[in-house]
Every structure is written in structure tokens, then in C-alpha cells.
Amino acid sequence: MKKIAFVFLSLSVILLSMYSYKLLNEISARNVYHEEDSTGKISKTEGNNETEGEQVVDRKTKIIEDSDLEAVFDYFRRQKDHSLILVNKWNLLSENYQPTDIKDAAGIVPSTKEQMLLQKEAYEALITMFNGAKNEGIEGLFVVSGYRPYSYQSQLYNAKVNAFSSQYDLETAKEKASEIVAIPGTSEHQTGLAIDFSSAELLKTADPLVEEFKNTPQGEWLYNNSWKYGFVLRYLPEKKEITGIISEPWHFRYVGIPHAQYMTLNHLCLEEYIEHVKEEKVVIFEDYFGNKYLIGFVQKENHDILLSEEFSLEKVMNVSEIGEEEYIITLKL
């Protein structure tokens, strides 16, 4: 009798050990991605309606539930910038819009004003670009304009309307003025991402912002090299019908790397580039320096990229908001 009891007890211990081991593994598998750290792993709270045999999901590559999707978009909201924000006469900024984290480049790079404010990303890229120009023997390059608040843009626009009013009726004068000076709320300068350049020689003239700038050594260098630093020539003559602005060879816009090279290589203005990414959904691009990127369009109704094997929050290097809950994300592969 004692032998039977001993055998029964031994079997019970063995079965209990096997069950505990199995249960521990299941719990570990379910909880392995619960922890959230600074690298961007997504927390997941298990619901009470988990079906038996539900497959464990890798948070680094798969987003399949509403809670996961909301966690990713919450990450995007916290990490977003406005480097690809589209501002034109069809996409206006509010009177109260002000860029965050602006810095003064005056005194650091040659400029015509005592204060030359820019968003941090553009500010840092500008300094690097000036160093690059200097290393290649380019001197006499000046920054003429950076961030402009809504109120100052209003002054510039109204002055241009008044100048045309002597030749045209008021509505025509406004239309003509808007082709040269952006209507308040439609100026990229309000973002702190746009810069007007000129040369030392042109600064001696009545108007340093002229078409001739493109033929100066400074203008030619910017045209050929600005994309390496995240800038693009914003208003090309052949894109006037799309941008709504005439040729401005002095006006450069910071959009970041690798977008600047892709736009320049494919001869796309910002309006075209945003539409291109939205249509393609995912663009794989290798830049001049051999770096490979994934550029994708994401919105809650269209987030297939989040299901791809390439997607990982650890690879996200930039999140740019282009509309309400619409983002262009950039991953370095």
C-alpha cells in the first residue's frame, strides 16, 4: 500500500512540474513584448477575451490590433516634426502658428540681419552646409531671410499689393502680388524651415533677391549641393502652376535627408513629392552615400506599411506630420 502511495505521489510531482513548466513558458511568451523601453517597443495590455491558441505577435514587425495601432500613432504624435509640412496658397498656416525650438543663426553663419531664426533641424543643417561650402572654396554666401512671423509677412504682402495698385485694379494687384510675395499664412518662412540666400556682390545692389543669383558661384554651388544637407530649391520656373510661386532661385527649403536628394534626383517639387509618397505608399531609396531608406505614408485608414517585415520602431529616424493623423515616416534600413 505504501509503495502504491509513493508511486502515485511521484507521478503527481512529475505531472505538476510538467504543467508548471508549460504554464511558465506560455506566460513568458505572452509577456515578452509587454515591457516598454526607450528604443520604441510598444506596450500591449492583454484583454480578457483572448482566444485560445492566439499566436504571439512580434511587436517589432507586426501591428494587428487596434490597441497596437493606437500605441504606434501615439508614438508618432510624440516624435513628429514638420520638416515636410506643405505650405502654399492652398494649404495655409494659422495666424498663431509658430515653429518650436527655434535658434538664431546670426553670427554663426554670414547673414544680413542681427537675428536670423530657424527651426533647430534647419539651423543645424545650415551650419553644416556653410562649412561644406567653405571647404570647397565658396565664400560670399549670405543668409538674407529665415523665420518670419505672420505679422511681418502681412507687411511684406500689403506693400507689394500697394505697389501693383497703381497699375491694376485691387483684385488683380493682389493676384500679381501673391505670385511674388506669399499671402500671409501661405509663406514657408513662417515655418522656420525656409531660407533666402544671396551673394556678397548682389547685396551691393538695390535688390539682392533676383534671378541672377542662380548664375553666381554661390547660387550654382547651392543648386548642386544643397540636397546633401537636406535642402531643396523650392520654386522652379517650370513648377509655377503647381507651387503657385514664380521662379525664386534664392529660396531654399529644409526637408531633411533623404527627402532632399530624392526630390532633386527625380525633379519633384514638394507638392509632387508628397503626392508621390502617398500614391506609392512605400518608397525604398539608396542615397548618394550608400545609405538605404524606407519612406512610407501612414494614416489610420491606410497603414499597411506597419504590417511589413521592414517596419520597426527602432529603425524610424523621422516622423513628419503632413496632415491630421497623416505622416510620412522615414526608416533607415
Pairing of strands 102-104, 117-119: antiparallel
Residue 140: left (phi > 0), alpha (psi -120 to 50), or beta?
left
**CA geometry: angle at 146 spanning 141 and 151, to 5°?**
145
For residues 320 and 82, the answer to whether their CB atoms sit within 8 Å is: yes
- Among candidate residues 121, 188, 248, 321, the one labeled active-site is 248
| CA–CA distance, 74 with 77 (Å, rounded to integer) | 5
- Length of the chain, please? 333
For residues 243 and 271, the answer to whether their CB atoms sit within 8 Å is: yes
Segment holding 144, helix H or strand E: strand 141-145
Cβ contacts of residue 130 below 8 Å, gap of 6+? 109, 110, 141
| CA–CA distance, 19 with 27 (Å, rounded to integer) | 12
- Would you call 248 a catalytic residue per the annotation? yes
Catalytic residue ranges: 248
